[in-house]
Structure 1
Amino acid sequence: MSWLRALKHTARSGVKVERTRLEPLVALRAAAGLAIVIAAGLALLGPGSAASSAFGAFMAAIASFQQSWRPRPVLALASGLTLAVSTFVGYLVGSSHTTLFLALLAVWTFAAGLLWAAGPTAGIIASSNVAIMLVTVTLPTSVAQAAGHAAMIAAGGVVQALLIVLFPVRRWGAQRDALADALAAEADYARRLRHDPHAPFDPQPLMRARAAATVTARQARRRPAELHGARGLAERIRPVLASLADPAAGAPAEGPERDRVRELLAAAGSVLDAAARTIRHGEPVRLPAPALAVLRSPDTPDLLAGPPLRAARRLAALLDDVLETARPGTGRRADPEESMLRPTLWRLVPVVLASVRAELRPDSPVLRHAVRITAVTCAGLVIGRALPLGHAYWAPMASVMVMRPDFTQTYSRAVARFTGTLVGVAVATGVVQLAHPGMYLSGFLAVVSAGLMYVLMRTGYAVAQVFVSAYVVFLLGMGGVRWDQTVPDRVALTLVGGLLAMLAYALYPAWETPRLRTRLADWIAANGRYAAAVLGQYADPAGARRADVREALLAARDARIAWHEAVDRAAGEPVRHRGLSRAAADAAGEALPALGRSAMLLEAHLPERAHAPVPEAARLAEALRKSTEAGAREVREGRVPQWDEVRALLEDGDGPRTAVLRGAAERFLGSLDEVSRALRS
Structure 2
Amino acid sequence: MSWRRALKDTARSGIAVEKKRLEPLIAVRGAAGLAIVIALSLWLFGPAAAASSAFGAFQAAIATFQRSWRPRPELAIASGTSLAVSTFLGYLTISKEPLFLALLVVWTFAAGMSWAAGPTIGLIASSNVAIMLVTVTLPTSVAQAAGHAAMMIVGGLVQAALIILFPVRRWGAHRDALADALAAEADYARRLRHEPVASFDPQPLMEARNAAAVTPRQARRRPAELHGARGIAERIRPVLASLADPAMGVPAEGPARDRVRELLASAAALLDAAAHAIRHGEPVAAPPAALATFRTPDTGSILTGAPYRAMTRLNTLLQDVVETAGGTPQEDTPQEDTPQEGAPKGRGELRDQPQQTRTRPETAPHHPLRRRPTFLALIPKALKAMRTELHRGSPITRHATRVSAVAATGYILGTLLPLGHGYWAPLTSVMVMRPDFSQTYSRAVARLAGTVIGVAVATGVVQAATPGTLQSGTLAVASAALMYLLMRTGQFATQACIAAYVVFLLGMGGEEWTQTVPERVLLTLLGGFLAMLAYAVYPAWETPRLRTRLADWLAAQGPYVAAVFGSYADPSASNAPDVRGSLLTARTARAAWHAAVARATAEPVRHRGLSRTAADDAEDALAQLGRVAMLLEAHLPERGATPVPPAARFADALRESTHKGAKAIRERRVPTWDAVREALDAWETEDTDQVVRNTATLVLDTLTELSEALDTAVPPMTLDGTAPENPDGPRNPKDSATR
Bucket of the pairwise TM-score, normalised by the shorter protein: over 0.9
Shift of 1:296: 2.3
Distance in 2 (alpha carbons) for counterparts of 1:317 and 1:299 = 18
Q: TM-score, normalised by structure 1?
A: 0.98
Aligned partner of 1:643 in structure 2 is 673
Shift of 1:673: 1.3
TM alignment of 1:7-406, pairs within 5 A: 7-95=7-95, 97-297=96-296, 300-328=299-327, 330-332=328-330, 338-406=368-436
Aligned partner of 1:664 in structure 2 is 695
Instruction: Tell me if 1:445 matches 2:475.
Output: yes
Aligned pair in 2 of structure 1 residues 653, 401: CA closer, same or farther (>3 Å)? closer
Aligned partner of 1:547 in structure 2 is 577
Aligned pair in 2 of structure 1 residues 381, 394: CA closer, same or farther (>3 Å)? same
Shift of 1:661: 2.3
The residue type equivalent to 1:65 in the other structure is F
Contact 2:57–2:80, Cα closer than 8 Å, also in 1? yes
Tell me the SS of whatever aligns to 1:313: helix
Cα distance per residue 1:115-168 (max 9 Å; x no partner): 000000010000000000001100001111111111111111111011011111
Cα distance per residue 1:214-264 (max 9 Å; x no partner): 111111111111000000000000000000000111411110000000000
Shift of 1:480: 2.0
TM alignment of 1:425-436, pairs within 5 A: 425-436=455-466
Tell me the SS of whatever aligns to 2:304: coil
The residue type equivalent to 1:121 in the other structure is T
Contact 2:553–2:589, Cα closer than 8 Å, also in 1? yes
Instruction: Tell me if 1:618 matches 2:665.
Output: no
Which consecutive unaligned segments of at least 5 residues does structure 2 have? Answer: 334-365, 713-739
The residue type equivalent to 2:231 in the other structure is G
Shift of 1:655: 6.3
Shift of 1:651: 3.0
Deviates further, 349-358 or 431-440: 349-358
Tell me the SS of whatever aligns to 1:208: helix
Distance in 2 (alpha carbons) for counterparts of 1:512 and 1:505 = 13
Cα distance per residue 1:471-500 (max 9 Å; x no partner): 000001112211111010110000000000
The residue type equivalent to 1:442 in the other structure is S
Shift of 1:656: 6.4
Aligned partner of 1:466 in structure 2 is 496
Contact 1:595–1:668, Cα closer than 8 Å, also in 2? yes
Cα distance per residue 1:631-664 (max 9 Å; x no partner): 1110000011111211222233666643112211
Distance in 2 (alpha carbons) for counterparts of 1:677 and 1:16 = 40
Aligned pair in 2 of structure 1 residues 49, 656: CA closer, same or farther (>3 Å)? farther
The residue type equivalent to 1:331 in the other structure is P
The residue type equivalent to 1:202 in the other structure is D
Contact 1:299–1:309, Cα closer than 8 Å, also in 2? no
Equivalent of residue 532 in structure 1, options 557, 562, 565: 562
Distance in 1 (alpha carbons) for counterparts of 2:311 and 2:10 = 48
The residue type equivalent to 1:677 in the other structure is E
Aligned partner of 2:736 in structure 1 is none
Contact 1:243–1:250, Cα closer than 8 Å, also in 2? no
Distance in 1 (alpha carbons) for counterparts of 2:464 and 2:615 = 57
Distance in 1 (alpha carbons) for counterparts of 2:367 and 2:468 = 57
Report percent identity of matched pairs. 68
Tell me the SS of whatever aligns to 1:296: coil
Shift of 1:299: 6.1
Aligned partner of 1:492 in structure 2 is 522
Contact 1:519–1:562, Cα closer than 8 Å, also in 2? yes
Distance in 1 (alpha carbons) for counterparts of 2:435 and 2:633 = 38
Contact 1:296–1:316, Cα closer than 8 Å, also in 2? no
Shift of 1:334: 7.8
> How many residues were matched structurally?
679
Tell me the SS of whatever aligns to 2:301: coil
Contact 1:381–1:393, Cα closer than 8 Å, also in 2? yes
Contact 2:646–2:683, Cα closer than 8 Å, also in 1? no
Distance in 2 (alpha carbons) for counterparts of 1:58 and 1:297 = 59
Distance in 2 (alpha carbons) for counterparts of 1:655 and 1:450 = 73
Shift of 1:331: 2.2
The residue type equivalent to 1:602 in the other structure is L
Contact 1:299–1:313, Cα closer than 8 Å, also in 2? no
Aligned pair in 2 of structure 1 residues 656, 529: CA closer, same or farther (>3 Å)? farther
Distance in 1 (alpha carbons) for counterparts of 2:137 and 2:280 = 47
Distance in 2 (alpha carbons) for counterparts of 1:237 and 1:59 = 42
The residue type equivalent to 1:422 in the other structure is V
Shift of 1:283: 1.3
Distance in 2 (alpha carbons) for counterparts of 1:281 and 1:398 = 40
Distance in 2 (alpha carbons) for counterparts of 1:213 and 1:298 = 38
Contact 1:224–1:333, Cα closer than 8 Å, also in 2? no
Instruction: Tell me if 1:568 matches 2:598.
Output: yes
Deviates further, 402-411 or 476-485: 476-485
Cα distance per residue 1:401-448 (max 9 Å; x no partner): 000000010011000100000000001111111111111111001000
Distance in 2 (alpha carbons) for counterparts of 1:289 and 1:26 = 38
Cα distance per residue 1:179-231 (max 9 Å; x no partner): 00000000000000000000000000000000000111111111111000000
Distance in 2 (alpha carbons) for counterparts of 1:138 and 1:98 = 13
Contact 1:616–1:655, Cα closer than 8 Å, also in 2? no
Instruction: Tell me if 1:677 matches 2:676.
Output: no
Contact 2:473–2:508, Cα closer than 8 Å, also in 1? yes
Tell me the SS of whatever aligns to 2:294: helix
Distance in 2 (alpha carbons) for counterparts of 1:671 and 1:246 = 16
The residue type equivalent to 1:455 in the other structure is L
Distance in 1 (alpha carbons) for counterparts of 2:319 and 2:396 = 46
Aligned partner of 2:337 in structure 1 is none
Contact 2:69–2:210, Cα closer than 8 Å, also in 1? yes
The residue type equivalent to 1:297 in the other structure is T
Tell me the SS of whatever aligns to 1:468: helix
Contact 1:423–1:466, Cα closer than 8 Å, also in 2? yes
Shift of 1:2: 1.0
The residue type equivalent to 1:176 in the other structure is R
The residue type equivalent to 1:383 in the other structure is L
The residue type equivalent to 2:699 in the other structure is F
Distance in 2 (alpha carbons) for counterparts of 1:636 and 1:644 = 19
Distance in 2 (alpha carbons) for counterparts of 1:652 and 1:303 = 35
Shift of 1:48: 0.4
Distance in 2 (alpha carbons) for counterparts of 1:369 and 1:656 = 56
The residue type equivalent to 2:199 in the other structure is P
The alignment yields a C-alpha RMSD, in angstroms, of 1.4
Tell me the SS of whatever aligns to 1:580: coil
Tell me the SS of whatever aligns to 2:299: coil
Shift of 1:508: 0.5
Tell me the SS of whatever aligns to 1:592: helix
Distance in 2 (alpha carbons) for counterparts of 1:532 and 1:141 = 66
Aligned pair in 2 of structure 1 residues 309, 333: CA closer, same or farther (>3 Å)? closer
